[in-house]
Amino acid sequence: MPHPQLQAWLAQNRKLADQRQRRDPDFFSRQAEAHAPELLWIGCSDGRVSPDQLLNLPAGSVFVHRNIGNIFASNDLNCLAVLEYAVDVLKVPDIVVCGHHGCGGIRHALSSTGSAPVDLWTDQIRFAYELFHQYLDDINDFSHRCDRMSEINVRAQVYNISRSSIVRDAWKHGQPLAIHGLCYRIEEGRLFAVCESICDEASLQRQANASGS
C-alpha cells in the first residue's frame, strides 16, 4: 500500500493527466515522440522559480538543470554533462542562467563559511563576491546586498559557461548559441536581464573587459 502522501500525489497526477487528455487527446503521444527543447535553463533549486511557469512555455520546451544558487561549476561533472548534452546532442540555440531575489543559497554564501557540503558548494558564490565586492560593500541592508549579489552571481555564471570549451567549440563550428543572464523578482513575478547576452567570441571578450577579467 503506497504511503498516504504518495497516494495523494498519484491521485493529483491521474487527475491532471485525464484533464490534459480530454482537452488534447494527442498530447501525450506527441510528448513521447521526441524531446526537442528550445533552451537550456540553469536555475536555482528554489521551488518558487520553476522555468515552465516563469516563461509560460509549452511542456517539453525547456531542458533544465537546477542547483542551489544557479551555479555552473566547471569542476562539477553534473553541470558539465548537462551542458555538453544540451549543446552537442540537443543543439539548443539558447542557454539561460536565472537567479532570483530572496535566494537562500546567496544568503548562505554571504553569511556563513565552513566545510559542510552546502558551504563548499556556495564557496563559488563567495569567489564571485570577492571579485565584485566593491559594488556591494556600500549596501547596508543585508537583503538588498544579497539581491544585488544574486544578479552579480548570474553574470559570473554566464561568463563561466561562455568560457567553457563546450560552448567555444560549438561557436568554432558555426553552431548558433547564445548565453543569457536573467534574474527573477519573486515579489513582482517579473524576470529581468542582468547582462549582455553572449553569443560569440567577440561578445565574450566584451564581457571579459567589462568585468576586468
User: Is 24 a residue of the active site?
Assistant: no
Measured from the CB of residue 58, what is the shortest distance to Zn ion in angstroms? 25
- Give the full edge-to-edge strand order of the sheet including 62-67: 62-67, 39-44, 94-100, 178-185, 190-193
The whole-angstrom separation of Cα 117 and Cα 123 is: 10
Measured from the CB of residue 12, what is the shortest distance to Zn ion in angstroms? 25
CA 127, 128, 133 angle in degrees (round to 5)? 105
User: Is 146 a residue of the active site?
Assistant: no
Task: Single out the catalytic residue among 30, 48, 190, 206.
Answer: 48
Task: Single out the catalytic residue among 46, 98, 101, 146.
Answer: 46
Q: Give backbone dihedrals phi and psi of 135, rounded to 5 degrees, phi first.
A: -85, -5
User: Is 98 a residue of the active site?
Assistant: no
Put residue 56 in one of left, alpha, beta given phi > 0 → left and psi -120 to 50 → alpha. Answer: left
Measured from the CB of residue 142, what is the shortest distance to Zn ion in angstroms? 16
Measured from the CB of residue 121, what is the shortest distance to Zn ion in angstroms? 12
142-162 and 104-111 helices cross at what angle (nearest 10)? Answer: 100
Q: Which is nearer to Zn ion, 101 or 180 (CB)?
A: 101
User: Is 195 a residue of the active site?
Assistant: no
Task: Single out the catalytic residue among 65, 100, 145, 155.
Answer: 100
104-111 and 117-132 helices cross at what angle (nearest 10)? Answer: 80
Q: Which is nearer to Zn ion, 44 or 195 (CB)?
A: 44
Task: Single out the catalytic residue among 79, 98, 103, 146.
Answer: 103
User: Is 100 a residue of the active site?
Assistant: yes
- Chain residues binding Zn ion by CB under 5 A are 44, 46, 103, 105
Handedness of CA 40, 97, 110, 165 (dihedral sign): positive
What single-letter DSSP state applies at residue 135? G
Q: Which amino acid is at 55?
A: L
Q: Which is nearer to Zn ion, 42 or 103 (CB)?
A: 103
Task: Single out the catalytic residue among 44, 79, 98, 183.
Answer: 44
Q: Which is nearer to Zn ion, 26 or 188 (CB)?
A: 188
Q: Which is nearer to Zn ion, 147 or 177 (CB)?
A: 147
The whole-angstrom separation of Cα 191 and Cα 193 is: 7
Measured from the CB of residue 48, what is the shortest distance to Zn ion in angstroms? 9
Residues labelled catalytic: 44, 46, 48, 100, 103
